[in-house]
Structure 1
């Protein structure tokens, strides 16, 4: 979607969380299914796609490139498998050792790796039901000059959240487990109405896949 000579719009796929609640529940209920290491992002949805693949495809449709932030192999034994799956989808895979300290570190690492970008669309990888249309609408709102753009479904803000280059300095300072929540309080946010419950729906437990 990028025109030659213009800074790219970059998607940040947040795939570095350990998903400990999901893993614990999976070990308890599906002891014989260790092929995906009880990583919720590699768990299969009803159509057979891994969770992370569905999220990556929706994000990739609306940006010029996707950087997938994954944990280091020291923090997650399934990190290499996750990275391989996302690389097949065309993502730039970036291990983020500091991800154990919280989502903010992952976002900052992704922005640092794409510092020339025109903006960023940030999507947690455990949100596979986000529609391509919702991602397009957020990206288009950024292109029209919004500082921050967020989809809204039934009066609730969801993901992906778009950040313009004006937010770069503050995105690079993010740390901890609150993600970019502080920026939503300090910058104007353009709300983007969508008819897509997927912008609110994530996967926390194996039963959520149903």
Structure 2
């Protein structure tokens, strides 16, 4: 199982001017307080999975260096600005020989390592799609088995893999982790 960390967005809701990269902002709370948003997300994945592939924009050398220094394999997606699907297909194509992928977002630093490991186990136990559920609400990351490789490679636009999740059988993995619902969209979210 390979972790995929999508870290190629522009974060325009966080800072419409594009001056502040939300992925590099320090967190205010939790075990990773003071660390960059994307560093916390990467560390949680690296603690749960043997291999993590991070996808970044061509012009985001700071995020690329940080993730590489933590132990992530870094892939640059030249089409990242066309939408989330471009980053996801870039990673899936690179890691297409894997038995499955846990796909996480670089702006979700509060997802617990145990949640990532539980999603990986669900795929290992035969699920083709696994999603975490906290108090009845589905969250992220989402795990996919290799069965869905053709559909993942065919994604387009900015919806990511949402349509695949909505139209296929999904194993819901109950978790006590509200981090699956918390992303960093605005400075108040830090």
| TM-score bucket (shorter structure) | over 0.9
Please report how far the alpha carbon of residue 136 of structure 1 lies from its aligned counterpart in structure 2 after TM superposition.
1.0
2:27 is the alignment partner of 1:45: yes
Q: Which has the larger radius of gyration?
A: 1
User: Counterparts of 2:48 and 2:148 in 1: how far apart (Å)?
Assistant: 19
Name stretches of at least 5 consecutive residues in structure 1 with no aligned partner: 1-8, 28-36, 74-78
Equivalent residue for 2:14? 22
Task: Kindly state the Cα deviation for residue 56 of structure 1 after the two structures are TM-superposed.
Answer: 0.6
* Superposed counterparts of 1:88-99, under 5 Å: 88-99=69-80
What is the TM-score when the length of structure 1 is the normalising length?
A: 0.86
In structure 1, what is the equivalent of residue 111 of structure 2?
130
What is the TM-score normalised by the length of structure 2? 0.94
Shift of 1:72: 1.4
Q: 1:67, CA displacement in angstroms?
A: 0.9
List structure 1 runs of 4+ shifted beyond 6 angstroms: none
Give, in angstroms, the shift of residue 84 of structure 1.
0.3
- What is the alpha-carbon distance in structure 1 between the residues aligned to residue 16 and residue 97 of structure 2? 40
Root-mean-square deviation (CA, aligned residues, Å) is 1.2
Cα distance in 2 for residues equivalent to 1:61 and 1:146: 22
Partners of 1:24 and 1:182 lie apart in 2 by 27
1:200 to 2:181 alignment:
yes
SS of 2:4's equivalent in the other structure is strand
Aligned: 1:13 with 2:5: yes
